[in-house]
Amino acid sequence: MQMKKSSLLFIALLLSVFAFGQVESAESNKTKIDIFYFHRTDRCATCISIEENTNATLETHFASEVKEGVITFRSVNFEDDVDIEIIEKYKADGPSLFLTKVKKGKESTKNLTDFALENSRYNPEKFNKGLRDNINKMLR
């Protein structure tokens, strides 16, 4: 009887490890997009508009992806050492906007800083469309 219980426990353990590995493998194959907006402590109207327009684009066109964690958005003060690892990774020393696609453990980053600075405040429609198009391209 003890041998039968041990065998059943062993089989159950193997099945759970296998199932966990399958879930983990499926999760690592999913595309994820991390969006980082870096700003100073004192922010100008253009810098504020980049964050506002990014949030608006995500809420309007990618709400389910944000809710599911497929897309994340972080606003980071590059003058504050709280997020020093991310600041150093992106070499953020001025206002900047980056989209990073993560799939199968590999990252590819698109720098949208110039585009964002040129369009967000005075041409928000162009900014929102460009951001949306870049996100959709990364999700494919």
Q: Helix/strand/coil (H, E, C) string of 98-122?
A: EEEEEECCEEEEEECHHHHHHHCCC
Question: Which strand (E) or helix (H) includes residue 73?
Answer: strand 71-77
pLDDT string in tens for the chain (140-residue length): 555 555 544 554 445 545 444 444 455 678 999 999 999 999 999 999 999 999 999 999 999 999 999 999 999 999 998 999 999 999 999 999 999 999 999 999 999 999 999 999 999 999 999 999 999 999 99
Domain topology for 31-139: Glutaredoxin (3.40.30)
| Sequence-distant (≥ 6) Cβ neighbours of residue 100 within 8 angstroms | 33, 34, 35, 36, 107, 108, 109, 110
Identify the pLDDT of residue 29: 77
Domain locations along the chain: 1-30, 31-139
Record the pTM: 0.79
- Tokens found for residue 65: 């992806």
Contact 118, 130 (CB under 8 A): no
Contact 90, 96 (CB under 8 A): yes
| Sequence-distant (≥ 6) Cβ neighbours of residue 128 within 8 angstroms | 53, 56, 57, 60
